[in-house]
Structure 1
Amino acid sequence: MTHYDLIVIGGGVSGLTFARRGAAQGWHTLLLEADGRFGGCLASHRYGGAAEGFWTELAAHTAYNSYGALLELLDETGLGRLQTRRKAPWRVWDGKCLQSVFARMHWPSLLPSLPKLLFTPKLGLSLRDYYGRVMGRRTYDGLLRHAFSAVLAQPADDFPADLLFRKKPRRKDLPRSYTLKGGLSGLAEMLAAMPGHEAKTGIAVERIERVAEGFRVHAGQDQWTCRRLALAVPAWEAARLLDGEFPDLSHHLKQIAAAEVESLAVVVPKEGLALPELAGVIGIDQDFYSVVSRDVVPDARFRGFTFHFQPGRFSREEKLARIASLLEVPIDRFVQTAERTSRLPSLKAGHLAWVSEVDLLLSGEQLALVGNYFYGVSLGDCAERSKAEFDRLCRSAS
């Protein structure tokens, strides 16, 4: 049985960045991922056949130069692979026509509310409560609640206001927003390929136990021991793994609810498509949260659109018909399609108090919990939590 200084369970951006930090520290590190690929919400679909060389994003679609905890792990070669995304507008679809975002603002209630931005704290408030106060209820109900749902790919009213759009330092030497050739999955591929750690896919961990050496990890007939353990899996999966050895932590993790989103991407020939170029579409009282366009990374042959649908509403055929109607093209014009169902944490106002309780339970342990259910759901939030937990383990080891 092999013993490691660190085992990381979960190969999304949280687990990849944690494993990379362990390897850089000189720790003998093992990264285990249940899926057949690394990346988690870094889910770029690369097409073959007639659409060879084209790709669309099925989950995360944008990265920013404020993601310092992620960017600092890339070497000069990796940073050189970042590609600037072209600027394009977001539009709003209310079932009748495409509109600009500004057209949906209710100026008579917005303007008198704006001064409240100066003295209304976000801490402990939901998006509905905070932005309803500082932007006016009419603007919130008519635009912002839908825009936030588009950003989060789930109903957003109760999401913590203090976790969305947190200010972070920016890397002025890098593009404000970027992707990579072949999509954001390239970030996962770069991190997984970096030397210094072992990485395995297709390994579903069944249970963990505390032992004299630290922890023992069980997956089928395989077992490994480690001094330090990081769980970079969804909250509900971490709750299952910790139920036996850390019941208090498991109890807290079970409080995190899940929200599903059904994503379907289509590739359409560029020629003959009347829809103007755009970054995406916000659905107003629609059956989809958003449409994310590939127009920000233009291609000479094709355009791509990923529709993020509310769950359980339509069959695949009905979704394709819905997409064809909005794009105003027949279904037989779709060159290729790709789909994915994602489960995201559904966080509630006051979430930072929950985080503090979990951190208190972790204090003094060689166990780390990381993921998109702590500081927020963005790639940068995930990497930031991984850095904070890694630093804690380093302090406790010294």
Structure 2
Amino acid sequence: MTQAESYDMIVVGAGISGLSLANHIARSGKKVLVVDAANKIGGCLNTCYKDDFWVEMGAHTFYATYTNLIDLIQKNGLEQDILAREKVGMKVFTDKHEKIMKGVNKFELMRSVPNLFFTKRDGKTVKEYFGKIVGPKNYDKVFTRMFSAVIVQNADNFSAEYFLKRRKTKSKKHPKSFILKKGMSSFMEALAAHQNIKVQLHTKINQLAKNSDGFKVLAESGEIYQSKDIALAVSPKIASKLIKGLNTDLSDVLAAYPIQSIETRTVVLPKEKLNFDPVSFIIPLQGSCFSMVTRDVMTHEKMRGFAFHFEENQISKDEQEKFMKDLLLVDSLGAETVETKHQLPLIKTGHSKSLSKIKLLAEETGIYITGNYFNGLSLEDCVERSKQEFERYAENCK
């Protein structure tokens, strides 16, 4: 084993939650080490680059309501890279591309929508809440697929309180929805570039331990890292394993979170190969593909790009490729696909109670913890949670 340099904070996990927390702490003057087992930073923000073209394989849009995230964009020098998304429509897919409301019974919808003013989200699943608002038949036929496309997992049992959350803040200076000139990953690079941050990839952490100087972090490679404080910004399953030696109660709560595994396949094709108009995304109304998200919101002279989000291990690679060809309305792809995998938590009803327990146990243990299983799955939810943990950290440092 070798003894490594000591830090004010070690953040385990280099996704948006970990890097936004690290950036806040670094800008306060502290020395931060960010470690991740992957070969690149970003987590679910994953841009596939091909020459001068790119397409997102994970999260793909920022919104004017993401004020905490916009603050980080500005403070890290990317304001000039903000681009409004071009206005292109969306489609559903049966055996062809169809209008987004195809299959929706308008009479049932009109009859059910008034329930919006009388139905509360508290304690309800997405299916229970929205089924009353759009009508049960409409929900089962169309909206279950639409909502599942939003969170890239089956939405039926997702907590309605944490789905499509209403936000009280909104920037009036930014487009309603926007992207960055060089893709989402450029935001991750900007967060990580602060002079007080060191990022170390290919580093799997096996164990955390407390000592007189704070925390000792043991890597699978044998390296030992020392820090005054520690923050976990990884999936709840990984966090549970790492925290077990520090607090078994916290470990057990984290281990209880169900996880949805997603496999994404991305392909970039010449414009002339495709015979359908630009579209922001297409939602299949059947099968194991949650959605096809496109780069058509930022026009390129020669290329178009597409990311297909599949539930992992549901169909074979060949079946996935056939589905991709069907959605693209082509006989063959004629190009290699790039593949990646993501894991997303399923936030169930009763989440707020679990959340309170996690926060209390984390404070008792003396650690910081963030991720997409706290305030919600959106990018703003992740950044908001990390800001809250930074504020707690800053208060503790006084």
TM-score by length of 1: 0.94
1:369 partnered with 2:372 = no
Aligned to 1:350: 350
Aligned to 2:200: 200
- State the alpha-carbon separation in 2 of the partners of residues 314 and 102 from structure 1: 27
Q: Secondary structure of 1:393's partner?
A: helix
Q: Secondary structure of 1:261's partner?
A: strand
Aligned to 1:389: 389
- State the alpha-carbon separation in 2 of the partners of residues 369 and 387 from structure 1: 11
Structure 1 stretch displaced more, 315-324 or 158-167: 315-324
- State the alpha-carbon separation in 1 of the partners of residues 263 and 77 from structure 2: 35
Structure 1 stretch displaced more, 5-14 or 365-374: 365-374
Deviation for aligned residue 1:394:
2.2
Aligned CA distance change for structure 1 residues 261 and 76 (closer, same or farther; 3 Å):
closer
- Checking the alignment, whether the CA contact within 8 Å between 2:265 and 2:337 is kept in structure 1 is yes
- State the alpha-carbon separation in 1 of the partners of residues 340 and 316 from structure 2: 13
Aligned to 1:334: 334
Aligned to 1:142: 141
- State the alpha-carbon separation in 2 of the partners of residues 140 and 359 from structure 1: 35
Aligned CA distance change for structure 1 residues 287 and 197 (closer, same or farther; 3 Å):
closer
Aligned to 1:314: 315
1:327-347 Cα shifts (integer Å, max 9, x gaps): 22232x533421112221122
Aligned CA distance change for structure 1 residues 353 and 390 (closer, same or farther; 3 Å):
same
Amino acid at match of 1:102: M
1:38 partnered with 2:55 = no
How many residues end up aligned between the 2 structures?
Answer: 392
Aligned CA distance change for structure 1 residues 156 and 109 (closer, same or farther; 3 Å):
same
Deviation for aligned residue 1:76:
6.8
After the TM superposition, which segments of 4 or more aligned residues of structure 1 sit over 4 Å from their partners? Answer: none
- State the alpha-carbon separation in 2 of the partners of residues 23 and 293 from structure 1: 35
- Checking the alignment, whether the CA contact within 8 Å between 2:246 and 2:365 is kept in structure 1 is no
- Checking the alignment, whether the CA contact within 8 Å between 2:76 and 2:190 is kept in structure 1 is no
Deviation for aligned residue 1:295:
0.8
Aligned to 2:211: 211
Aligned to 1:254: 255
1:265-305 Cα shifts (integer Å, max 9, x gaps): 12221114212211011111223111111111111111111
- State the alpha-carbon separation in 2 of the partners of residues 102 and 321 from structure 1: 25
Amino acid at match of 1:85: R
Aligned to 1:282: 283
Amino acid at match of 2:231: A
1:19 partnered with 2:18 = no
- Checking the alignment, whether the CA contact within 8 Å between 2:250 and 2:361 is kept in structure 1 is yes
- State the alpha-carbon separation in 2 of the partners of residues 133 and 353 from structure 1: 25
- Checking the alignment, whether the CA contact within 8 Å between 1:366 and 1:393 is kept in structure 2 is no
- Checking the alignment, whether the CA contact within 8 Å between 1:227 and 1:366 is kept in structure 2 is no
- State the alpha-carbon separation in 2 of the partners of residues 242 and 82 from structure 1: 38
- State the alpha-carbon separation in 1 of the partners of residues 99 and 227 from structure 2: 54
Q: Secondary structure of 1:72's partner?
A: helix
- State the alpha-carbon separation in 2 of the partners of residues 77 and 336 from structure 1: 34
Aligned to 1:100: 99
Aligned to 1:299: 300
Amino acid at match of 1:25: S
- Checking the alignment, whether the CA contact within 8 Å between 1:279 and 1:296 is kept in structure 2 is yes
- State the alpha-carbon separation in 1 of the partners of residues 246 and 344 from structure 2: 25
Deviation for aligned residue 1:370:
0.5
- State the alpha-carbon separation in 2 of the partners of residues 395 and 133 from structure 1: 44
Structure 1 stretch displaced more, 4-13 or 388-397: 388-397
Deviation for aligned residue 1:365:
4.3
Give the aligned CA root-mean-square deviation in angstroms.
Answer: 1.6
- State the alpha-carbon separation in 1 of the partners of residues 77 and 55 from structure 2: 24
Q: Among all aligned residue pairs of Structure 1 and Structure 2, give the percentage whose two residues are the same amino acid.
A: 33
- State the alpha-carbon separation in 1 of the partners of residues 159 and 284 from structure 2: 21
- Checking the alignment, whether the CA contact within 8 Å between 1:34 and 1:202 is kept in structure 2 is yes
Amino acid at match of 1:93: F
- State the alpha-carbon separation in 1 of the partners of residues 334 and 177 from structure 2: 28
1:215-251 Cα shifts (integer Å, max 9, x gaps): 1111132212222111001110000001111111100
**Unaligned segments of structure 2, at least 5 residues:** none
Aligned CA distance change for structure 1 residues 387 and 9 (closer, same or farther; 3 Å):
same
- State the alpha-carbon separation in 2 of the partners of residues 8 and 44 from structure 1: 22
Deviation for aligned residue 1:25:
1.4
TM-score by length of 2: 0.94
Deviation for aligned residue 1:182:
3.1
- State the alpha-carbon separation in 1 of the partners of residues 366 and 226 from structure 2: 13
- State the alpha-carbon separation in 1 of the partners of residues 334 and 305 from structure 2: 10
**Unaligned segments of structure 1, at least 5 residues:** none
Aligned to 2:110: 111
- Checking the alignment, whether the CA contact within 8 Å between 2:26 and 2:194 is kept in structure 1 is no
- State the alpha-carbon separation in 1 of the partners of residues 337 and 53 from structure 2: 11
- Alignment of structure 1 residues 166-205 onto 2, 5 Å: 166-168=165-167, 169-205=169-205
